[in-house]
Amino acid sequence: MRYYFASDHAAFDLKAAMLDMLKQQGHDVVDLGPYDTSSVDYPDYADKLAQALSADPQAQGIAMCGTGIGISIALNRHKHIRAALCHDVTGARLTRAHNDANVLVMGARLIGAETAKDVVTAFIEVAFEGGRHQRRVDKLS
Ligand code: RB5
């Protein structure tokens, strides 16, 4: 599994911490930016991530902004994206199991790094359950 990361300036440090964690675990990670803390617009980075997942549909995304809300809205305007804003492990687990979410979103101003690590770990470890959930996911698009 390849993981594409995108954020805005508000989540630059949290993105770096999550990238480090997955890299150290040997995962294939791609940082779509930003690459410093200069102010940027989250829709631009949502679009970069949506394009990456369009070209590489088996991969997953991890996205962040200050609240996670703006980048979630932007991501979910793309039909192939199921972006889930999660700040707890249960939500991260269930959005993979039930929604087949292909992007995890977090708000860097709302979550600490240790909790975020647990949320990312839950998201990447849990598989989609399919079955009745597949029918519902199909209806999303
Ligand atoms: C940037 O200041 C902030 O508005 C953005 O990171 C995000 O929280 C928007 O939803």
Predicted TM-score of the model (pTM): 0.98
* Residue of 7, 8, 71 to mutate, ligand 1, most atoms within 8 A of C-beta: 8
| Angstrom distance (rounded) from CA 126 to CA 70 | 25
Any atom of ligand 1 within 6 Å of the Cβ of 8: yes
- In this prediction, residue 2 has a pLDDT band, given cuts at 50, 70 and 90, of very high
Q: Where are the domains of the chain?
A: 2-140
The C-alpha atoms of residue 38 and residue 17 are separated, in whole angstroms, by 18
pLDDT at 40: 98
> Which atom in ligand 1 lies closest to the alpha carbon of residue 71?
10
Residues 126, 79: Cα–Cα separation, whole Å: 22
Residue 141 pLDDT class (50, 70, 90 cuts)? confident
φ, ψ for residue 41, nearest 5 deg: -110, 120
What is the Cα Rg of the chain in Å?
A: 14
Active-site residues, by number, are: 65, 98
Per-residue pLDDT reduced to its tens digit, 119-135: 999 999 999 999 999 99
Ligand 1 mutation pick, 37, 65, 71, 105, max ligand atoms within 8 A of CB: 65
Q: Is the CB of 61 under 6 A from ligand 1?
A: no
What number does the ligand 1 atom closest to the CA of 73 have? 10
What is the model's pLDDT at position 120? 98
- The whole-angstrom separation of Cα 113 and Cα 57 is 28
Contact 52, 13 (CB under 8 A): no
Q: Which fold has domain 2-140?
A: Ribose 5-phosphate Isomerase B; Chain: A, (3.40.1400)
**What are the tokens at 106?**
């977090």
| Cα-to-centroid distance, 8 and ligand 1 (Å) | 8
pLDDT at 95 over 90: yes
Query: Under 8 Å CB-to-CB from 16, ≥6 apart: which residues?
Result: none
